[in-house]
Amino acid sequence: MPSSSALLAFALVAFAMVLTPGPNMIYLISRSITQGRTAGLISLGGVAIGFVFYMLCAAFGITALLFAVPYAYDALRLAGAAYLLYLAWQAVKPNGRSPFQVRELQVDSPRKLFAMGLLTNLLNPKIAMLYLALLPQFIDPAAGSVLTQSVALGVTQIAISLTVNTMIAIAAGSIAGFFGTRPTWLLLQRWLMGTVLAGLALRLAFETRRT
């Protein structure tokens, strides 16, 4: 199992990323406002399956990679730090898009809602980078099975993401209305997330290699 400090640090990364605008959040908010909370939650079910798919692929892939390729940890660490900086810039750049700028979507069946949630997550580069480049930073081969640690961290990320996204889907209309009439709050949210992500990126970039 990962250490408590690694688990908490990864939980912070996962929490910051789930609050950062991305395809999943934009789709779920738009779907919940356009078709209702139930539609948003069904779509979230598809997103959850996408998380499980990524978690299993990453768990087995990372296990093989870290043992087979020298300096793979450092390469993934730097890639993860660079992507966090990119997300930080996306959050604070002028005219950055807010997930609460809702797109109008057509009414779909539950089966299509689930499928579109799954597809949105599978094609989400933020989730791919989270599992393939960020998750390995919190794995210590000396602490035990890399596979077990990968799964434990993946389950943590899924639990955090589903909890936050469920609350967002349920309260999407109220949240969009609040930010729509208070642009200053929206700006503060973007800068807060950008600062957190930039700090995490620097932490990863300058972290010493585990032995």
DSSP state, 89?
H
- Choose between 2 and 182: higher pLDDT: 2
Q: Where are the domains of the chain?
A: 4-205
Sign for the CA dihedral angle at 106, 107, 112, 117 comes to: positive
> What average pLDDT does the segment 125-151 reach?
79
Q: Which two tokens stand for residue 185?
A: 């709050």
Tell me: the pLDDT tens digits for 171-209? Answer: 876 766 666 666 676 677 677 767 877 877 787 677 654
For the entire predicted model, the pTM comes to: 0.68
DSSP state, 130?
I
| Confidence tier at 56 by pLDDT (50, 70, 90) | confident
What is the percent of the chain with per-residue pLDDT over 90, rounded to a whole number?
Answer: 13
> What average pLDDT does the segment 40-54 reach?
91
pLDDT of residue 188: 74
CA 16 to chain centre: 8
> What average pLDDT does the segment 146-153 reach?
87
